[in-house]
A and B are shown apart, each in its own frame.
Chain A
Amino acid sequence: MQDIILKNGRIIDPTQDLDDQTDLLIRDGRIEHIGILNDGIPEGATVIDIDGKWCVPGLVDMHVHLREPGREDKETIQTGTMAAVAGGFTAVACMPNTNPVNDSAAVTRFIMEKARSAPAVVYPIAAVTRGLEGIQLTEMVELHEAGAVAFSDDGHCIMNADNLRRALDYVKIFGGLIIDHCEDPVISKGGVMREGFICTTLGFPPIPSLAEELMVARDIRIAEYTGSAIHIAHVSSRESVRLIRDAKNRGIRVSAEVTPHHLFLTDEAVKTFDTNTKMNPPLGTEEDREILEEAVISGVIDCIATDHAPHTDTEKQVEYSLAPNGIIGLETALPLVMTRLVHTRKMNPSQMIRSMSTNPSRLLGIEGGSLLKGAPAHITVIDPDRLWMVDPMRFYSKSQNTPFGGLSLRGSCNLTLVHGKIAFQSSN
C-alpha cells in the first residue's frame, strides 16, 4: 500500500492539543507521523497538498438510518455510506429499525458483511427488545460479539421501566451502551409538532416537550440506580438539557446527542407545511434551539448526530400529518455546523471535532476520534471557506428529504480518508 502524505494542512486534534500547519504521513492505513518529514518524501508516496485546509479526525455519526435491509428504495448501506463520506463522516452507527429489525446476530452480521465494501465504516446498533416491541430483551451479548456497538429501540422509547432497568443491568456484562429515544407515547399520542405558539396557530395536534422530558428524567434516574451508562438520543427541549446537565454534575453516566436540525431550525419552519420539517422529536422553539446550541458548545450535550432518515419523495409529498418523520443529514451536517457555529465563532474547531468525532467514538467505544500515531487513518479534510449551495438533486444519498435545500453554506468536506484510503474527494 502506497504512503499518502497530506501536506501543509492545518492539523487539528483536540485529543493531543494539536493545531498546527504541518504534514501528515499515512502508512499501511495508519497514521505514521505528524510534522515536517525530516527524511524527505518517501519514495512512491502520494502527496496531496491540502494547502491550509483543516485536517481533522474523521467525523463519526452515531445516529443514522441506512434502511438496509428492507427499504433499499430509500437508502442502502452503499448509498448511505457514500453520503457519509461525501459529508466528511468516516464512520456511522446505524439504527436497528430495518426490516427485519436488527435484533439478532444474523442481521448484525448481514449489515457488517454488506458494509465491508462500503466507503465508510459501519457500526450496527442493535435493538434492546425483540422486534422493537418493548417486551423481551434481545440476546445482547451475542449481538455485541457480532459487532453491535450499542443498543436502542430507536423510534420507540423503552416504555416499560422495568425492561429498561434490566437492559441497563444486563449490558454490564460487556459494558454496553443503551441509547433511548425519550418520548412518552401516551402524552405525545396523535401529535404532529411541538406544542407551543406556532402549533396553536396552525391547529396541529401538539406534542408537548413534557413527553420527552419525563422520559429523560426517568432514564437518568434508572441509569443512576443501576450505575450503567445511558445515552439520550436527539435531545430537543431545553428542560431535557437542564436534566442532563444536572445529572452530569451529579456524576450520573448520562450522555446525549443533538441533531443539526434541532440546532438550526425551529417550529417556525413548520409554517411552510413543508413535510421536511416534520420529525420526531419535533422541532422546538427558538428558546429550545438557543439552549441546545449552548449545551453542545459547552459539552453538556456530547455530540452532534444527524438522525439521517431517508424517505422517498412520494412518501413526503403528502398531507403534513401523514408524512413520515425525519430528514437526511449526512451531507449537510458539516457545512451547517461550519456556517452556523464555527464561522460565527460560537464554537471553535476543537469543540466541533469533539462533538462530531471524538465524543461519539468514545461513547461507542470504537476506533477513531483522534489523529494519534498508530491510529487507523480515518481523516476528514475540511475546506473551511468553500461556498456550497445545498442541492438535494446532487446528493449521494438515495433520498432528497431535506429542509435545507437552496441554502448557501460556507465550509464543507474536501477529502475523506477511511483506513488511509481516499473514500471521497471533492471535485473542486
Chain B
Amino acid sequence: MSNVAANRIIMTARDIDRILSRFAYEILERFPDRDNLAVVGIQTGGAHLGRRLVQKLEKLEKRSFSFGILDITLYRDDLALEKDQPIVRKTDISFELNQRDIVLIDDVLYTGRTVRAALDALIDFGRPRRIALAVIVDRGLREFPIRPDFIGKEIQTIPEETVRVRLTEEGEPVDQVVLLKED
C-alpha cells in the first residue's frame, strides 16, 4: 500500500455535521411546505446521511418528516459491465411520493449516473412535485447533465482518485471524508 501516504483527509466529523446542519436550514428555507417535505437517501452512504439530516430537521421543527431509502442497483446502466455482481440492497419508501417535495441525498456526486438512476427509481414510486439533490462532496467530472442543489464541499479530482465518505454507521471509528489516490 505505497499510496497510503498520498491519502488525504478532506473532511472531519465536525465538517460533516456542520454541512448537514447547514443543509437543514437551507432545505427548510427552500421548501416552506413542511407537510410535503420528505428526504430520500441513496444506499448506502446517502441513507445514513439522510437519516442524520432528518434528525436535524425534526429537531429544528419539532415534528416528524418522511424518510425513505433507495437502492438504485436495479436502475443502473452499467450492470453488464461490472465484473462483480452488485449486491441489491433494500429500498424502503413507505410513504406516498405524489405531490411531495423530495430532497434526495447522497454522499458523493461524481459522474451523475447514480443520480440519474435514482431519479428514474423515484419516478416509478410516484410523481413528486419537486426533487432537489443534496451531496456532501461534489468531486466534478460529470458525465450527465446533473446539478446539485445543496453542496457540502466542491473539490477538484481526477478519475484515478477515489473520494470515500466514511461513516460510523458502517463501522468506521470516526466520520471522515478521504481522498484516496489509486495507482
- Find out whether A and B make contact in their complex, taking CB atoms under 8 A apart as touching: no
Interface residues of B (CB under 8 A from A): none
Point out residues on A near B: beta carbons under 8 Å.
Answer: none
